[in-house]
Amino acid sequence: MERDKAIIITGAAGFIGSILVGCLNHLGYYNIIIVDDFSRADKLSNWADKKFAHKVERTELFTWLKNTDPKVEIVFHLGARTDTTEFDYSIHEELNVRYSQQIWTYCTVKHIPLIYASSAATYGGGEMGYKDDHALCYKLSPLNPYGVSKNEFDKWALQQEQKPPYWYGLKFFNVYGPNEYHKGRMASVIFHSFKQIQDNGFVKLFKSHRPEIEDGQQLRDFIYVKDVVNVCVWLMENLPQSGLYNLGTGKARSFADLVKATFAALDKTADIRYIDMPEDIRDKYQYFTEADMSKLIEAGYNTPFHSLEEGVSDYVRHYLSPNYG
């Protein structure tokens, strides 16, 4: 890849975007155009120590691009409204659909590869499985407006005759790791578990409201953010066949396992207490997610992912404990 050409990263002050900037810096990429809403003080630590060429406000991006016309190698569009509890679809539509369409059009006109964030939320309750088959998009029923907006853009992208030279929609599963501290309620269960252990010495988890599933045995495909950005960089450097790609570990684990790993990373005995799930999310709750990772593997990606225990240990010992312990 030509190091003199720029890399655009939207959502660069956010969770995954800021980790990607750091990863690219480590690999020697500094000609980066970071894009986000930089007014939030709680995101400052995510990007203040990163090396980049330009900082552009999200609302000013397309004006800035028109005025400066930079030579761009690739665009990582990771900025999005990710709050699954925000039920005003118009907010998701504006940020997750229309803005993404503008990014797509820019990349198409300028012949720039595009990697964008989709989501496992597109799969809804999982009735159709978790295979990143393009035909499946038209059958999915996401459980919330966020998932709907991500699936609407995926479908729109698939229908376009004019496309970027290479494009990848990454269906992120449950990503966790450093730099998610600003996400509040939407931060990972590991982050909230760590805080509960520090404050109370125990962790509260939702009870199961399905008789066939035990408390704490709700399953998710948890993936460490370092693995996510490794895949992003690999796609940038290898440019396999365009399309939608799942991005999880391919191995579902229980919330109880996750919390036990958090206690273990703190060298503490696990103490889990179960509480009723709020009624407002009870009908929208996924009891199982697991990425079918065969497409990415067949495309040539062969770097092993962190196990849940490995990822949680690294996150807790090297990031959460030093900063929040």
Question: Domains, the chain, ranges and CATH?
Answer: 6-175+222-251+291-306 (3.40.50.720), 181-220+252-286+309-319 (3.90.25.10)
Q: What is the pLDDT of residue 86?
A: 76
Please identify which residue in the block is written with the tokens 């509260």.
Answer: 204
Cβ-based neighbour number of residue 137 at 10 Å: 22
pLDDT above 70: residue 124: yes
Is pLDDT above 90 for 114? yes
How far is residue 270 from each of residues 45, 111, 241, 273, 324, measured CA to CA in Å?
Answer: 31, 52, 44, 10, 19
Average pLDDT of the chain? Answer: 95
Give the whole-angstrom CA distance, residue 220 versus residue 173: 8
CB of 79 closer than 8 Å to CB of 21: no
Listed in sequence order, the residues at least 6 apart from 325 whose beta carbon sits closer than 8 Å to its beta carbon are 198
pLDDT of residue 117: 98
Q: Which pLDDT score is estimated for 90?
A: 86
Point out the residues that are catalytic: 146, 183
Q: Supply 290's token pair.
A: 């697991």
* Whole-angstrom distance, CA of residue 182 vs CA of residue 45: 10
Q: What is the pLDDT of residues 219-232, one digit of tens each?
A: 999 999 999 999 99
pLDDT, average across residues 226-251: 98
Burial class (CB in 10 A: 0-12, 13-18, 19+), 24: buried
Q: What is the Cα–Cα distance from 124 to 126, expressed in whole angstroms?
A: 5
Residue that is written with structure tokens 């995101």 in the block: 43
pLDDT score, position 253: 98
Residue/partner pairs of 60-66 with CB below 8 Å, 24 or more apart: 61/10, 61/35, 62/102, 62/106, 65/106
Nearest to 149 by CA among 228, 67, 201, 82: 82
- Mean of pLDDT values over 22-30: 96
The pTM of this model reads 0.96
Sorting pLDDT into bands at 50, 70 and 90, what band is 3? low
